[in-house]
Amino acid sequence: MHIHILGICGTFMGGVAALAREAGHRVTGCDANVYPPMSDQLTALGIELIEGYSADQLNLNPDCFVIGNVITRGNPLIEAILNAGAEYVSGPQWLASNVLHGRWVLAVAGTHGKTTTTSMLAWILEHAGRAPGFLIGGVAQDFGVSARSGNLKEPMSPFVIEADEYDTAFFDKRSKFVHYRPRTLVLNNLEYDHADIFPDVASIRRQFHHVVRTVPSSGRIVSNGRDAELAETLAMGCWSERELFGVEQGWHFVDHARVDFGGQRFGDLALAMPGEHNRLNALAAIAAANHVGVSPTEAIQALATFQGVKRRIELRGEVAGVKVYDDFAHHPTAFAATVSAMRKAAAPGERVLAVFEPRSNTMKLGAMRSRLAESFEGADRVFSYSGGVDWDVAAAMQSLGDRAVNANDIGALANALVANARRGDHILIMSNGAFGGIHQRVLEQLRRAHSHQG
């Protein structure tokens, strides 16, 4: 089969492309921004990439066009496809029909922690010799790729998928995860996000309940017992086995490290990734792996070697005792959790300098600005970038007083960071985009400043 993917350079659609190629399909694709690293990964797989959405791509005559959710009506190629009556399908639907069908699908959903928990779960299954397939919205350090097919010959072989609540396509406004039909469903947490497509948290809750409805009665839902929104979601109806984590009546920690479930105590969790949120992610992964037959003891052993995920408190470099980290956080709850994790990992007397870009659609719309300042209470200094938004970021941070610095130019922001930095500092840079390469800018300026001092 020849498929042509519109929006191929997105993390999800790029993963679909990789899985299709691995399955032996001919894959081509197009995007408005064909650039590394995704373009390099796809080219290495033998996938032909086209810049832009010209209508003449209809002449490729594929068996099916696979449409990413970035594509809107008015796009010249989609208009040509519709006018020609050509075959088309969404990315999640193609995945469900061609990759997930007949597999034991373990889906990880939630506003936060999806990528990390999915990566942990895939690594536990890999460590246990289960050779899982997976599709992750990031690059797990242990695998070096974001997607692979896994064992296609074994019936009901495991496939671990990051189950995103974002919409499916311009013609299908259900959340992506509705298509996956999981046998094991992890519900990490639920709060308001994606303000560009959801008017309120109730509309997101409804989508979460749609995926709950697809889990078979012999399946299992592993849910965060601390989350009131998830409790309300499951109260709308639940027809499957259910286990909680993060609370005493479910999977929890005894003496801070020992994993306990139902009074049975397993090993102590040793996790390289800092933060309470990552410990909860680990509990969810252990519980989900247990459902597919991997013992908690094996899972704990696997997580002791888990290397983490790129862009999750990832150390990008150190100069003269100043460490620069990259993190994907882009929501006040994630900002607070990441700052807290960094604070606990820092030694006494070391400072945490938080840097953030309000880049997500929710942040750009200003939907969470009233919560911004409080989410950075744990940081010694906070540096914000206000370029690209039409609301007053500095005003939102005003309650932090002189601890807050704002700039609408990335160069000026980098200069302010370097001027403030001192030995022992942890510079924590948070964005769901490239942030203008500020990580490298700061490291290079620190090197120059240090060489001049030397």
- Tell whether 147 is covered by a domain: yes
Give the pTM: 0.80
Asked if residue 183 and residue 75 are part of one domain, the reply reads no
- Tell whether 14 is covered by a domain: yes
- Tell whether 96 is covered by a domain: no
Asked if residue 166 and residue 136 are part of one domain, the reply reads yes
Close Cβ partners of 169 (under 8 Å, ≥ 6 residues apart): 67, 68, 69, 71, 90, 91, 92
- Tracing tokens 């924590």 back to the chain, one arrives at 428
Residue 356 is part of a domain; what is its CATH number? 3.90.190.20
Of the residues 303, 333, 362, the one at which a domain ends:
303
Residue 144 is part of a domain; what is its CATH number? 3.40.1190.10
Specify the pLDDT at position 198.
77
Residue 76 is part of a domain; what is its CATH number? 3.40.50.720
- Tracing tokens 């604070």 back to the chain, one arrives at 343
Specify the pLDDT at position 397.
87
Specify the pLDDT at position 307.
78
Total domain count for the chain?
A: 3
- Tell whether 95 is covered by a domain: no
pLDDT along the chain (454 residues), means of 10: 94 92 94 77 89 96 96 97 98 96 96 90 95 87 86 89 93 95 96 75 92 97 96 96 95 91 91 82 96 96 84 84 87 85 88 87 74 88 86 87 88 90 92 84 88 68
Asked if residue 418 and residue 442 are part of one domain, the reply reads yes
- Tell whether 309 is covered by a domain: no
Specify the pLDDT at position 323.
92
Of the residues 61, 90, 119, the one at which a domain ends:
90
- Domain region containing 133: 102-303
- Tell whether 308 is covered by a domain: no
Residue 24 Ramachandran class (φ > 0 left, ψ -120 to 50 alpha, else beta): left
- Residue 90 burial class via C-beta count within 10 angstroms: exposed 0-12, middle 13-18, buried 19 and up: buried
Asked if residue 292 and residue 144 are part of one domain, the reply reads yes
- Tell whether 328 is covered by a domain: yes
